[in-house]
Amino acid sequence: MKKIELEIVALSHSITQTHSYAVVLGEVNGLRRLPIVIGGFEAQAIAVALERMQPSRPLTHDLLKNFMNAFNVELQEIIISDLQEGIFYSKLVCINEHDTVEIDSRTSDALALAVRFGCRIYTFDHILESAGILMDDAPGKKKKGSAATSPTVSETGSKDDLSALSLEELNNLLNEVLEQEDYIRAISIRDEINKRK
């Protein structure tokens, strides 16, 4: 089967499930999108890596990356290999100087590691056909997920809440959420602060 390359194009609150997030993967040089519902901790781990934030202590996925680096294991790619009863299955393709090994992984964990290693994300056509969404390519509009577009991280409802706060209040709130290690919220606050500068 031919592998299809994907990239992360968005990370946001899930519309369908409370207290969950959705990571949206876009087909590289294509119009299909693959939304995957993930948990809050995994969303935070992906957001931290996407935004190149430096937590005070390593998160679990940072620890795993450090462990792999210490033993000269490289994450070559991840493959979203199957979809059964609404659950995505993924594999980590790891290499060292002697061997290549495929390791079973939750898709959310695989994505958090892929962002940290900067490795490619793949799936197969049958998965995109059954769970993907085809985006319209309207004339005059840039396609989401094109090479010139960077991934976006958003939190539904937070934009309105933040716009009412002063710059000083935003900076105080940013410090509070960083102490709580709520990096998803920190990103939206930081973006609001940057818009005002």
What are the pLDDT digits (tens) for 114-126? 999 999 999 999 9
Q: Residue 164 CA to chain centroid, in angstroms? A: 28
Predicted local distance difference test score (pLDDT) of residue 184: 65
Predicted local distance difference test score (pLDDT) of residue 190: 74
Q: Using one digit for the tens of pLDDT, what is the confidence trace for 63-95?
A: 999 999 999 999 999 999 999 988 999 999 999
Domain span at 39: 3-154
**Are 155 and 12 within 8 A, CB to CB?**
yes
**Residues 106 and 42 reside in one and the same domain:** yes
**Residues 105 and 169 reside in one and the same domain:** no
- CATH number for the domain spanning 148: value is 3.10.690.10
**Residues 145 and 131 reside in one and the same domain:** yes
- Domain final residue pick, 136, 154, 172: 154
**Residues 116 and 174 reside in one and the same domain:** no
Q: Using one digit for the tens of pLDDT, what is the confidence trace for 1-48?
A: 899 999 999 888 765 566 778 898 999 999 899 989 898 889 989 999
Predicted local distance difference test score (pLDDT) of residue 170: 87
Indicate the number of domains in the chain.
2
**Are 61 and 48 within 8 A, CB to CB?**
no
Predicted local distance difference test score (pLDDT) of residue 189: 80
Beta bridge mates, 171: none
Predicted local distance difference test score (pLDDT) of residue 7: 96
The pLDDT of residue 133 is above 50? yes
Does an H or E element contain 190, and which? helix 183-196
The angle subtended at Cα 13 by Cα 115 and Cα 185, nearest 5°, is 75
Nearest to 121 by CA among 105, 133, 132, 110: 110
Name the pTM for this structure: 0.72
**Residues 39 and 136 reside in one and the same domain:** yes
pLDDT higher for 53 or 119?
A: 119
Q: Using one digit for the tens of pLDDT, what is the confidence trace for 153-197?
A: 443 334 457 888 888 888 888 878 777 766 667 767 877 887 887
